Every structure is written in C-alpha cells, then in structure tokens.
Amino acid sequence: MFQNPKRLISLLPAILIIFQSFPAMAQIINKQTQEAAIRDGQQQDVEGTIPGIYYDPSGQLAPTFATTPGADTAGSIRVPPGTQFGFNVNGAWPAGAKSDQVLKIGYLKQSPQFKQFTELNINQTLAASGKDPSTVTLAEVPIASSMTLGEYLEINPGAAEQSLEEAPAVVQSAFGYYEDEPLTLEPITETDFEFIEQQASNPAISDIPAEDLLQGDWGEEFTKEDQSKLAETLKKVNEKLKKLPLKQLFPLVNGIIAGDWDTVKKQAKDLAIQEGSKVLIKELMKNPKIAKFIKDLPLGTLPTDRLGLADAPGIGETAIKDIPGSDDKTVDQIPGLSDIPLDQIDLALALSFTRFDLLGRFDIADAAAVVDGIEYTISGGTKDQIPRPTPCKIDGEGTKNCRHFELDNIDGGGKPTELSGKAWVQGSDQKVPGGKGLLARINGGKEPTGIKPWVAGPVKLLLEDIKEGSGEEVSSAQLSTAWQLCVTDPLGNQHCTPHFVTIPTPYRIKEGGIMLLLARSGGVPDAIAALQPNSSQFCADPQMATAANQMAQPGADGAQVASTSGTPVASKGPDHNLRQYLARIAAGESTGGTNWNPNPSTGAYGIYQFTPESRATLLQLTGLDGWSRDRATADQAAVAWIQIIGNEEGVDLLGAIQQGDFATADQVLSDWQFTSLPGGREQSAIWSNPE
C-alpha cells in the first residue's frame, strides 16, 4: 500500500497539544478529578490554552453532596397554594444541613449538569460507595422504605400478574407470608393523632422521615416543642415506623388518620389466607376489603431488615428518575448517591474568548492573614440571576476576610481602564446574595463570591487558595467553580438556588494570566458544547482538550485561528500550526483526547483513532505506537502517519500544515485515516456548526 516510506523519528517534542493564539482560544476542562494529582508517578505541570493557567491539582478529596454545605441556618420552602411544579418543591432543612439534605431529585432532573445522577440506579450508587448490592437489605434503602406497595407494582408490573406463591418476597410480605413484629407498641392517644395530622399537613416537612425531625435545629418550621411532642409519640412505635415520613406514619384519608398499618396488614393477611396461594396479586389489590389502603402500604412497614434488594426485583435496577415519587425525595434518601464525588460527573467548563468579550489580566495578589475591606470589586453575587459586583466588608459572619487578586487591562500597560485595580475576592472569604425565586432560600440565600462570565449559564468561577508570589514564584490562585440548580414553574418562571455546589478544578492561574470576565458574544458556543464527553464516561481521568473549531475572528493583531471551513489561517509559525492542526484531528477523532474508547465498528483506538491495521503498519514502518496513552508518542505517531500519507499522495502535507494551509491537508487526510476532518465520510459535527 505504501511505497518506500522513510522512518520518522522525534518529529514532535513531548508536549500537550495546546493553542497559544489569542484572542480566539478555548479550553474544556472535563471531569476534574482531584484523585489524579499524580499521573504515572509524575506531577503534571502543563501550561493550558489560556496564558497563565496550568494544571496543578490540589490533592484534596473531591466534594460530594454529603460534604458540600447546604445551609448554615434552618430554612424551608413553601410553594404558594395553586402553584404546581410537577413535583413537591416544598421542603425544610435543619441548621448545618449538607446539600444532600436540601436538594431533591426533582432539582437534579431539571438541571442539565446534574441530571446524570438521576439516570443511575440504586445498584450503581451502592457499588460506587463500595457496597455490594446483593448484601444490602431494604432497611438500608430509605427510598424503598417510603415506597408504597402500589408504587412498587408500578416499577415491577409483572409482579401483579403473578400468583401469591410466585410473587417476589416483598409482595408476599405485604400479605403476611412472613411473621413480623407489631408496628405499634403502645396505644396511640387522640392527642398524638391530632399532632401527627397537624404536622403531616405541613408540605414543608411531610416528606421528611420522622426520626430525622428529632435531630438538629429546624427553626420555626419544627420547633423544640414540636420535637418533644414527636419524641413522645414515637416512643409508642417500633424502629421501622420511625424511619417513615410523617405523612406515612399512619393511614391518612383526606388528612385524617384512619387506623394503623398493623390493622391494614392483618386484613391483607386474612384475605390472602381466604383466597389461597394461587390468587393473583392484582386480584388481591383490587379486593374491596383492602383496596382502600393496601396500595398505600409503605414497604417500610414490612420486615425490611430481613428482605434484601433481590427480594424486591426492580428497585435496584430502575433508574432513580423513574422510581415513583423519587422527585420528592432528597439526595440522602438514595443510598450511595451522597458519596459519589461531584467531579466524576460530566461538568464540562468551556472558556471561549472572542474580540467582543471582556477580558482581564491577573495583576497583584493580596493574601495576607487579614485583608481589610475592599470597595472596588469585580466579583460578587447573582441575586435574581443578575451578576452584581459586591464590595467586600468584613463582618465576622458571612465575610471574614477579603483576600483577592487585583485585575488590569489585558495588555498590562497603557492607560488605566475601569477594570484596572478592581479586585476578584477569594470565594471562601465572602458570602454574597444569590438565587432567584423560591429556591433562593436554599443555603440561606448565599453563595461564594465570584464572577459569572455566561450570565444565562449555571456556573460561576471562583478563586481559592490565593498565594502571594515570593522570589521567582509569581502569585497564583486555584480556579474553582460554583453551580446552581433551577426549576421552572408552569408559567415559565425560573426558580434557582444560589451557586452553592462548589467543585474545584485541577487548574491554577498565575499572575499575568488572562481570564474571560464577561462573554458579550453570548453563552458557551454550541461548537464547544459539542466537544463534551459522552455521559457514559463516568469516571475518566481529567483531560485538557483544545477546540479547533473556534471563531475566525480577527484579533488585535489581525491574526486568525483554526478556521472551521478549512481555509488557510494566518501563520503563527510552523510549530504552532502543526500543534494546532493536530488539535483539529483530536477534536473530531476522540473529542479532544477525552474519548479513547475503541470504535465498535472498526476497532480504532486512541487520541487519533488508529485502526488495528494502521497501527500495525505504523509500528512496522516507524516503531511508533498510535495507540500509546503517552501524548507525546501519540503526537509523533500522528505526524509520522501524515508524512506517510503525503508521500503516497505526492503532497507535502507536513509543509502545508506548517504553513497554515489546513484546507489542503483536510482534502487529503479526510479520505484516509482522519475521516472526522472536514469533507470526510465521518465529518464531525463540530465542523458544521462554526461560531
């Protein structure tokens, strides 16, 4: 196939493929994983696409819903009567609650950045937390305890078609197949019933497990006196009943307690004995003797400590979002979900600079032990979804310090601008107002100070761990992110939490670095969003990918970069153009090096997706492995392959690329190995949606 190829050696230095052009540049930070602080035994310190940003993971454990603060003080949400959201937005939380006690599954489902959590099933969340689902009992699955028998038959409809003797053990238990302890230990007084009815009618707390309400400070929503009364009532029931939400402690009809679950279970058992083991479950469920209450029987009233997940097929295998009633449950009701590191989900952060955007340069850092108040800031809060610079004033409460980086215009000289000298305050030092509508009450309506380049987006950028320079070391700060969740009511009004779910990135900015402060040209470009990794990549290593399909906008120096149409770009030097072209290939072949998975049709693998045949040929001719996970080796392999194809076609492809003539290279290479390039049979979508 190939004629007289020459061996190519050391064609490319050991580098990470990056863009160095400005002002049109992009980077995508995918799945920031603090666990990857050391890769292959060596610390990574790689310059990024933005001048002054480099890879430097802190080594700290990634945050989880269980460790992310949710509220310093007690709070609640009560939806006005008649307002519908599709799930119960009402809720309450104690002082010091973590986000898993505040956020509901319904919030996650409506958030594009977090909905992937709800697509997991309970078996997966258990496994992610180190538990073997086959050893877990239903008593260890709070959402299963509050699930009713009717809801269980929704996720496992086949069970209703089975006879009593064939049905899953959890269904048999509802009809008395297994001996169980009584739920009520002492007579419940009329006063007890009235108190439970009153509290169960409060939509803010009706879904909260009764035993949880006994712990912590719930403020006015559930007072100390209320806790005392509930504690006295719960002394009269067994431990299983205490784990149920208030509204499920006893059967309710129009808000009025109608008997107890022991009675319902006895009636179901008596009916099962009368009908015999051959009766179908669906016939028992609609029998008028028990139909009124049996469908509402909580599984938590059954011997859940002796029933495993395998005894209730469907619960462990059903996606969280598809479990009936899951939208109304808080994250902590799903075992293992609270402990999944937040940086292992697909939260891609894309920074795209154009000539229309507001850019700033990091100038001077002030990170003393105590920094007095700062009047002129660019960082602040986002109350009502409007970014507002907020002066930093030490108050000993939400604001305890004002460490900051001063900014300047991007050229570092010339006349001062309105940006010159303004401070970007460290996020953890200052809490500022955020959120909108009903959900603004979460986290006390506060969020860490920062900037929001994309006003319509869900993310703020924060600075943390600001360090002053000394000697040859320049000042630096860790780049972090803060996310919010929003829901929309039937009238189209948006209700958003503050940006309180903080996720650090493994990148630091240096003094002199350039940062996007306001994207005047719009939100995150579709072309960049298209480079986000596939959601099936749940736990990949962090990667920095370059977007080769940037806007061909002339910058201050008249240069253009990475034209999506394949037209020649102004030369930045042969090495730069070569690096840039390799980034084009990687963007289409492997989503910028983030998707190494083998192609199911061709077996192609690696950053540049070499087929097994191409890999074997390249190894034989050059000794370079196109499947290498070492980026430098993979880059050398790609360059070698380009030269081999150029020799076969009689075209100096490498020379064309180095001169910035990408169109010529695309025309030849898109028919060969790199078919995702413009004009190829597998042309990537990123080339058909130029910004």
Q: Which range has the worst mean pLDDT, 19-33, 101-115, 600-614?
A: 19-33
Instruction: Give the mean model confidence (pLDDT) for residues 85-90.
Output: 88
Which of 565-569, 595-599, 644-648 holds the top average pLDDT?
Answer: 644-648
Residue with the two structure tokens 């909108």:
436
The answer to whether 351 and 507 have CB atoms below 8 angstroms apart is no
Look at residue 359 in the predicted model and tell me its pLDDT. Answer: 74
Instruction: Give the mean model confidence (pLDDT) for residues 416-425.
Output: 85
Residue from 574, 605, 645, 585 nearest 8 by CA: 645
The answer to whether 596 and 629 have CB atoms below 8 angstroms apart is yes
CA distances from 284 to 149, 272, 280 (A): 12, 7, 7
What's the pLDDT band for 686 if we cut at 50, 70, 90? low
Rounded to the nearest 5 percent, the helix, strand and coil shares of the chain are 30, 20, 50
The answer to whether 514 and 361 have CB atoms below 8 angstroms apart is yes
* pLDDT(216) > 90: yes
* pLDDT(564) > 60: no
- What pLDDT, in 10s, does the model give residues 455-464? 777 889 999 9
Instruction: Give the mean model confidence (pLDDT) for residues 406-433.
Output: 84
- What pLDDT, in 10s, does the model give residues 526-546? 332 333 332 222 222 222 222
Q: Long-range contacts made by residues 553-559, C-beta under 8 angstroms, separation at least 24?
A: 553/23, 553/24, 553/354, 553/355, 554/355, 555/21, 555/22, 555/23, 555/24, 555/355, 556/23, 556/355, 559/21
Look at residue 687 in the predicted model and tell me its pLDDT. Answer: 62
The answer to whether 511 and 469 have CB atoms below 8 angstroms apart is yes
Residue from 275, 278, 271 nearest 297 by CA: 271
CA distance 195 to 192: 5
Q: Count CB neighbours of 130 within 10 A.
A: 8
Q: Three-class SS of residue 515?
A: strand
Q: Which range has the worst mean pLDDT, 68-82, 339-353, 466-480?
A: 339-353
Total-model pTM: 0.65
State CA 201 to chain mean position distance: 34
Helix axis angle, 612-622 to 631-649, nearest 10°: 90
Look at residue 80 in the predicted model and tell me its pLDDT. Answer: 83
Residue from 300, 334, 342, 319 nearest 126 by CA: 334
CA distance 180 to 195: 27
Instruction: Give the mean model confidence (pLDDT) for residues 17-22.
Output: 24
Q: Three-class SS of residue 466?
A: strand
* pLDDT(91) > 70: yes
R_g over Cα of the chain: 30
Residue with the two structure tokens 């102004």:
570
Look at residue 545 in the predicted model and tell me its pLDDT. Answer: 24
- What pLDDT, in 10s, does the model give residues 410-419? 766 666 777 8
Token representation of residue 292: 């009124």
The answer to whether 360 and 378 have CB atoms below 8 angstroms apart is yes
- What pLDDT, in 10s, does the model give residues 245-300? 999 999 999 899 999 999 999 999 999 999 999 999 999 999 999 999 999 999 99
Q: Tell me the percentage of the chain whose pLDDT exceeds 90.
A: 43
What DSSP string describes 242-268? Answer: HTSBGGGSS-EETTEE-S-HHHHHHHH
Residue with the two structure tokens 């006003």:
455
What's the pLDDT band for 1 if we cut at 50, 70, 90? very low
In the predicted model, what is the mean pLDDT of the chain?
Answer: 79
CA distance 266 to 257: 18
The answer to whether 395 and 373 have CB atoms below 8 angstroms apart is no
